[in-house]
Structure 1
Amino acid sequence: MRDVAIIGVSQTKFGELWDVSFRDMITEAGLGAIEDAGVEGADLEAMYVGNMSAGLFIKQEHISSLIADHAGLTPIPSTRVEAACASGGLALRSGIMAVASGYHDIVISAGVEKMTDVVDPTPAIATASDQEWEAQQGVTFPSLYAMMARRHMYEYGTTREQLAMVSVINHENASNNPRAQFPMKVTVEQVINSTMVADPLRLLDCSPISDGAAAVILCPAEMAREYTDTPVYVKASAQASGTIALHDRRSITRIDATVNAARSAFKMADLTPGDIDLVEVHDCFSINGILAVEDLGFFEKGEGGRAFEEGMTRIDGEIPVNPSGGLKARGHPLGATGIAQAAEVVWQLRGEAGKRQVEGAEIGMTHNIGGTGGTAAVHIFSR
C-alpha cells in the first residue's frame, strides 16, 4: 500500500445558498481544489462524491454522472458515496484507498448537499435513522440526540451550561471563518434562552440546514511535491459501524463506532490522542461535541462537558476542537461535511487558517459520523 497525500483543497461558502444550484456548488468546489493542487482536469483519474440524499432534496439521483458531466470531467469513473452525514468522510476514505492501492494516482474526493430546495428537510434527514423503530414513530434527530443528552446529564452530571459552551466555542471560532454559515459569536445565555427544540436541546444547540460543497485532491505521497510545496499526508483512514437505532445500544452516552474507528486510526498512525494538535469533530448537536471528545479518547467519559466549560477545547486550549466553527456554526451540508473537515485540517497544517490558526499545528484529526452513530469515519493527517 502506498502513502497518500492531499495536494489541493477547496470549500464553498456554507449557508442557505438560494441563488446557487447543486451543480454549480460542486463545480466551484472541484475547480477550486484542482486549481489549489496545480493539476489539470485531464490529470484526474477518478472521482468519489459524498452525498446523502439528492433524490429527496433536489429530486435528482445518478449524481455521479451528473457531476462528471457538468464539470466537464467525463469519461473518468465517478462514484457517489452514501453513509448519511458521514458520506463525505467515506468519499474521502474511498479516494484514499484508491490511491493507496495503486489503482489510481490522481483522485478527487468531494461532497455536496443542497438542503434548502425543499419546504421541510426533516423527513429527508430522518431517513438516516431506523425507519421502522424511530422515524416512522415520529422520532426526529433532535429528539434522538436529546435523549442522549438527558442520559449523559443523568449519568455524569453534565450541565445545561456545559452543553451551551460547545456552541459558544464553535461560534467564536466561526467568527474568524469567512466560509462559515454563522460567523458570529453567541453567549451561554443566548444558547440557553433560544427556542426549545427537544428538551434539553435548544435552537442554538443544533446544527443548521445548509447548502455547500467541498473537495480535496489526492495523490501518492512520493508524487506530492511535484504539485505543491505544502503537501499534507494521510497518516490514517479508519471506518467503523454501529447500531443504527438507539434502543439496540449498550449505552446511549457512548458511540461505539467512534470509539472503534478512533482506535483503528491511532493504531494505524502509531499515535495517541496526546499527539493530536487539533480535531474537527461531528457536533451536529452540542451533546455530540461532548460525546466526540470523550469517545475519541481526548477526555475520560463524563469529563467532556467540563473540558468545554473550562476552555480546554478552545483554539489555545489543551486540544483545539473545531477551529472551523464545526457543524454548528460553519454549517452542515450533510454530504459535504466530512470533506470540509479535511479541508480545514489541511489549511491548519499549512498555516493558512488566518485568525483561527492553531499555532504550531503538525497533526490533525477529523471525525465524521452518520445518523446517531451507525457509521463513523476518522482520519489523521500530518504536515
Structure 2
Amino acid sequence: MSGTGVVIAGAGITRHGFFAARDWKDLVVESAYAALGDAGVAPGEVSGGFVSVSLPETCEQQNLGAIAADELGLAPAPFSQVGAACAGGTVALRNGVAAVASGLSRAVLVIGVEKVSDSTSTADSMLHYPDAEYEAPAGFDYVDIMALMHDRYVRKYGASHEAIAQWVVQDRWYAQRNRKAIDYGRPDLTVAGVLSSPMVSTPITRASCGRACDGSSAVLLMRAGDAPSDCQPVEIAGIAQATAPNVLAAKFGHPGAAGADIAEAVPTTAAARDAYAQAGVEPHHIDVAQVHDCFSVMGPLHLEGLGIFPPGKAAAAVADGETALQGRCPANTDGGRIGFGHPTGATGISVAVESAVQLRGRGGNRQVADVDIAVCQSMGGSNATSAVAVLRRAR
C-alpha cells in the first residue's frame, strides 16, 4: 500500500501568542479562510469539517464544530468537534483523511484552535490530563508526570541534562526565524540559561516547558485529482493513531505497553509503523520531522519512537547538531511547542502546516534543503495517544 490518495490543498495558521481582545471564533476564521485562500477554493465547495479543541471549557460551550461551521458560513455542511488532548489536531486530520478517501466528502476543512488565555490557569487546565481517579487525587499534575519521564529517560539511557537542554536552544533558534512563533524576536538561549531557569518540577525547568498559548491552524483536504492544479498540493502518504495505557502505574510492564516503560514512546512507535507502511517508507527516508515537545525531553523521546534515532540516542544526536537546519534530520523547524507555541487543540494541525511549508519550499531562512518526505507527530496525555502523519511532495 502506498498513499491515501488525499492531499493538503491549502494551509493556514495564525500568529501564536496571547490575544485577550480576540475570541476563539476570530482565530478559527483567520486560519480557515487562509487555508481556503491558499488552496484557491471557494467556501461553498467545502463539504464537511472537523474542529479540534482540548479545553472547550475555556470557550464556555461545547459543540464547537457546528458553531465554527456557522461562523464560517459553511452550514449545513457537517462539522464535528474532536477531542484527544494535545493529539486532537492530528486525530482530526486522520478523520478528515478518512472522510475524503472514502468519498463521503469532497473537500474537508480540519481546524485546530485553543484560547488558553481565557482559562483560569494553564496548570488547572492540565489537571484534566492525568487520571482523575488515581493520579490527580494524589497531587500529580501533568508536569509532574512529564518530570518522571524526563528523570527516567536520563537514568535509563545515561543522557545528560545538557543534551536535553540543547533541544530548547534549538527550538528558540528556529522560532526566531518564524514570524508566527510566540518566541519570534526573542534573544538567543543557552544551555546554561535553560538549566538555570526556575525549577517547575524536578528536573524540568520553566524554559523547558511548552508555551501554552492562543492560536489556530487549518488545512483543506481533497483527493489529489480534485485539488486545483495550481494549489501546490502536499500528499498525505500515510496517517495513523495508536494508544497506550494512560495511568502511570500501568506504563511499567503493562501487556498493552509491550513491556516498555515511560522512557519510551510506545504509541508513537505503533502509529509510526502503520503510517510508514501506508506510505511505503522507512524512517531513514524522512527529510524533516515535527514532533510533540510539550517538554524538552519529549522531543528526543518521540524522535526515537518514530525510529529516526535508536532508543536513548536522540538527545545526544540533538546536541551533536543532527536535528539542526543542516543536520541529518532537522526537527521542529517551526520552533516546536516550546518556541513556536502550544495552543493544544491546534498543535496537531500546526505540525502538518509546517510540514507542508517545508515540502513546498516556503520556509524562508528556516527552510530545509531538498525536502521530499516529512513526518509529523502529536501526543495526547502522558503518551496515552499518539498520531503520526507522513507527508510527501506531490508526485
Question: What is the CA-CA distance between 1:155 and the residue it aligns to?
Answer: 1.0
More moved, 129-138 vs 345-354: 129-138
Q: Which residue does 1:130 correspond to in 2?
A: 131
Displacement of 1:313 in angstroms is: 0.7
Which residue in 2 is equivalent to 1:70?
71
Q: CA RMSD in A?
A: 1.1
Report the equivalent of 1:218.
221
Contact 2:32 2:111 in 1 (8 A): yes
1:121, distance to aligned residue in structure 2 (A) = 2.4
Are 1:38 and 2:48 matched, yes or no? no
Q: Distance in 2 between matches of 1:115 and 1:229?
A: 32
Instruction: Provide, for residues 269-289 of structure 1, a one-character-per-residue CA deviation record: whole Å limited to 9, x for no partner.
Output: 111111010010000000101
Q: Which amino acid aligns with 1:276?
A: I
Shift of 1:227: 4.5
Equivalent-residue separation in structure 1 for 2:103 and 2:129 (angstroms): 33
For 1:190-226, what per-residue CA distance to the aligned partner results, in whole angstroms no more than 9, with x for missing partners?
10111100111100100012100000001001122x2
Which residue identity does 1:336 align to in structure 2?
A
2:206 is aligned, of 203, 214, 227, to 203
Aligned-partner Cα distance in 2 for 1:105–1:255: 35
Secondary structure in 2 aligned to 1:116? helix
1:7 to 6, 9, 13: 9
Check conservation: 2:145, 2:382, Cα contact below 8 A. yes
Question: Within 5 A, what are the aligned runs for 1:299-314?
Answer: 299-314=309-324
Amino acid at match of 2:210: S
Residue 29 of structure 1 aligns with an amino acid whose one-letter code is S
1:54-100 superposed Cα distances (whole Å, 9 cap, x missing partner): 12x23221211211111111111010111000110111111111001
CA shift at 1:167, angstroms?
Answer: 0.4
In structure 1, how many angstroms separate the alpha carbons of the residues matched to 2:231 and 2:12? 17
Correspondence 1:350 to 2:355: no
Give the drift of 1:20: 1.6
- 1:285-300 matches, cutoff 5 A: 285-300=295-310
Contact preservation (8 Å) 2:7, 2:224 = yes
Q: Which residue is 1:188 aligned to?
A: 191
Distance across 2 between alignment mates of 1:69 and 1:137: 42
Residue 382 of structure 2 corresponds to residue 372 of structure 1: yes
| CA distance in 1: counterparts of 2:323 and 2:142, whole angstroms | 25
- Stretches of structure 1 that go unaligned for 5 or more consecutive residues are none
Question: Does residue 142 in structure 1 map to residue 143 in structure 2?
Answer: yes
The answer for the alignment partner of 2:83 in structure 1 is 82
Identify the range of structure 1 (64-73 vs 98-107) with the bigger mean alpha-carbon deviation.
64-73
Report the Cα distance in structure 1 between the residues aligned to 2:293 and 2:137, rounded to whole angstroms.
25
Pairwise CA distance, 1:118: 2.2
Residue 263 (structure 1) aligns with: 273
In structure 1, what is the Cα distance between the partners aligned to 2:175 and 2:264?
27
Offset, 1:136: 2.3
- Tell me the distance in 2 between the aligned counterparts of 1:48 and 1:136: 33
- 2:234 is matched with 232
Equivalent residue, structure 2, for 1:119? 120
TM-score calculated relative to the size of structure 1: 0.97
Equivalent residue letter for 1:348 = Q
Residue 141 of structure 1, CA deviation: 1.3
Partners of 2:104 and 2:64 lie apart in 1 by 23
Give secondary structure in 2 for the equivalent of 1:113: strand
TM-score computed with the length of structure 2 as normaliser: 0.94
Query: 1:53: Cα distance to partner?
Result: 1.6
Determine if contact 1:2/1:101 at 8 Å carries over to the other structure.
Answer: no
Match of 1:326 in 2: 336
d(CA) in 1 for partners of 2:130, 2:103: 36
